Amino acid sequence: MIKNLAPLPDGTVTVSGWVDTVRDQKKVQFVVLRDESGAVQLVNPATREAEDGDAAGQERLALTETISGLAHGSFVTVTGELKHDERVKLGGIEVKIGSLEVVGEALPETPIAADSSLDKRMDWRFLDLRTPKQNLIFRIQTTFEHALREYWIDNDFIEIHTPKLMASASESRAELFEVEYFDTTAYLAQSPQFFKQMAQPAGFGKVFEIGPAFRADPSFTSRHATEFTSVDAEISWIDSHEDVMRLHEELMVAGISAVKAKHGEAIAELFGIELEVPTTPFPRIPLAEAKQIVAARGYEIPRADEDMDPEGERQIAAHVKETLGHDFVFITDYASSIRPFYHRRHDGDATLTNSYDLIYNGVEISTGAQREHRIDVLVEQAKEKGIDPEELGFYLDFFRYGVPSHGGFGMGLARVLMLMLHETSIREVTYLFRGPTRLAP
């Protein structure tokens, strides 16, 4: 790997990678070669002609001509002499080319450029991903997920893998993808909600999952996708949604701390961001109070009885950043009218729920709540939402044989990465994006 060249002594080495640039000068050629670990400068003292019978000259001439014809993105293997030279700007090393093999030749015309539109780059995603900045995004994703798993495992969580084919809706029928399933119809899971709750009466106590989820939502915003990676956790023995929020904030601190420790310098170089690890506890603001704060800032949420809209989220996040210096804020105590039937309501005030949304850098990334675990209350709340309890047969059975109080959250991985890196669209941080008009590549 190119990153391993610098510590080596001068001498013969072999490297492979993609041709990034070729500078073809009269008496010398320079090639910048890049692999997934970095870039190195190759040099060839060019020979433009050779005398008859001069085998070495003929070989050097052939090499010079091969280098002159290299297209951007061609994959080559080079054997040559490594030399440390402080004058070389690219890492203080270079390799004098002895031999060069074109392993995979690229077409001369590259279909995308740095200024290509996002849709065009998505059409050629494998080329778009070759850049160091894009490569770093998915190294960050790997580090972030690994840190979450470390936190969960260190705290005695069990990892589960829930099915993505369901016989009925897990949340809203309005956003379901239907799939032919032998002689019946199945639905792609919108979330692992019901199944992670099932783990509570099963005696698992604390569970997590990182897996795909599907929403038949025809939105074309920068933060929506029809297929996305959902980060989920559910825990037993809680007193309120405060226990879930405490878990959530500790998890985010663990993930961001790991990313900053491993990639902080690279993020500063490629994204121009000084990544901040948030302090705990995160600010908590009831929804009604948040709406008042937003209104005082001069923005009225269009429907007062509804959730925060995107501008409202940006405004409350700006308030928290200005007054508390924090990138995160929990908006709590949502009205039961705008929350699912399985969210537990306040003791003494059934109009409010023990639930929250977590906002990060002005965008909602997660919804969490304490669940209603009392079967009689759960049935009544389902009826209030116009849901026939008969349709919830297997789900309601979870609560008929002894279930502890519990709660949890679901969080969109791509949104977290987008906001962490100050990107403008989840398309940039999703390996292969799926939306209403995109099913390829």
> Which residues carry a binding-site annotation for L-aspartate?
171, 215, 367, 371
Cite the annotated binding site by residue number: 171, 215, 364, 367, 371, 412-415
Instruction: Say if residues 94 and 83 touch (Cβ distance below 8 Å).
Output: yes
**Beta 227-236 vs 406-412: how paired, if at all?**
antiparallel
- Mapped onto helix, strand or coil, the DSSP state of residue 358 is strand
In 3D space, the residue among 406, 291, 290 whose CA is nearest the CA of residue 354 turns out to be 406
- Say if CB 363 and CB 419 are below 8 A apart: yes
Q: What Cα–Cα distance (Å) separates residue 263 from each residue in 18, 224, 271, 304, 375? A: 23, 26, 11, 42, 47
Torsional sign, CA 146, 147, 149, 153: positive
Q: Which helix (H) or strand (E) holds 151?
A: helix 132-154
Could you count the other beta carbons within 10 Å of the beta carbon of residue 302? 9
Quote the tokens at residue 373: 């675990």
Q: Which of 65, 63, 62, 57 is nearest to 79 (CA)?
A: 63
Annotated binding site for ATP: 364, 412-415
Contacts of 366 (CB under 8 A, 6+ apart): 248, 357, 358, 409, 410, 411, 412
Contact between residue 111 and residue 128 where contact means Cβ atoms under 8 Å apart: no
User: What is the largest distance, in Å, between two alpha-carbon atoms of the chain?
Assistant: 99
